[in-house]
Amino acid sequence: MIDAYSRDAMGDGKPLDPDVEMRLIPGLRKHPTTLIFLAFDRDQPVGAAVCFIGFATFAAKPLINIHDFVVLPESRGKGVGRRLLEAVEVKARKLGCCKLTLEVMDENHQAIRMYQAAGFKRYTLQEEAGSAIFMSKPLQ
C-alpha cells in the first residue's frame, strides 16, 4: 500500500526504493507508537492509514497523527477513505486522544474535501497568528 502511495502523483511519484521497501515493515513494527489501519475489498487491500501516537502539550493528552493515508485509485470515491478516517477516530477516542492530525498536499483537492467533510480544518491557535504550515528538513 505504501508503494502505491509513493507511486501516486500526490506521493513521491515513483516506486519505493528497494532498500526502503525491505526495511519498512520491520521498522514500523519496532516503532513503539505505530498504528496501522487497513481497508479491504473482500481479500484485497484497497486503503491504509499509517499513524503514530504523539502528545499534545497544550492539552497534556495523546494525539494520533495520520502520517500516510492512501486509497488505491480504483477504490476512490467509494467511501473507503471516510471509513478509514472513522476507524482512526474510534481508536483515538478509545485512547483518550484530544485530536487527530495529518498533512495533505495543497493541490490534493479531493482529499482536502474528504478531510474537511470529516471535520478536519487548518490548525490555528489564535486567528491573528495564522494557521500552521507543515515544514520539513531532510537529513540525508
Alpha-carbon 103 to chain mean position: 7
**What is the DSSP track for the chain?**
-HHHHHHSTTTTSSPPPHHHHHHHHHHHHHSTTEEEEEEEETTEEEEEEEEEEEEETTTTEEEEEEEEEEE-GGGTTTTHHHHHHHHHHHHHHHTT-S-EEE---TT-HHHHHHHHHTT----BSSGGG-B---------
Q: What is the pTM of this model?
A: 0.92
Give average pLDDT by consecutive 10-residue segment, the chain, 140 residues.
94 95 97 98 97 97 97 95 98 98 94 96 88 87
Specify the pLDDT at position 135.
85
Where are the chain's structural domains?
33-120
CATH number, domain 33-120: 3.40.630.30
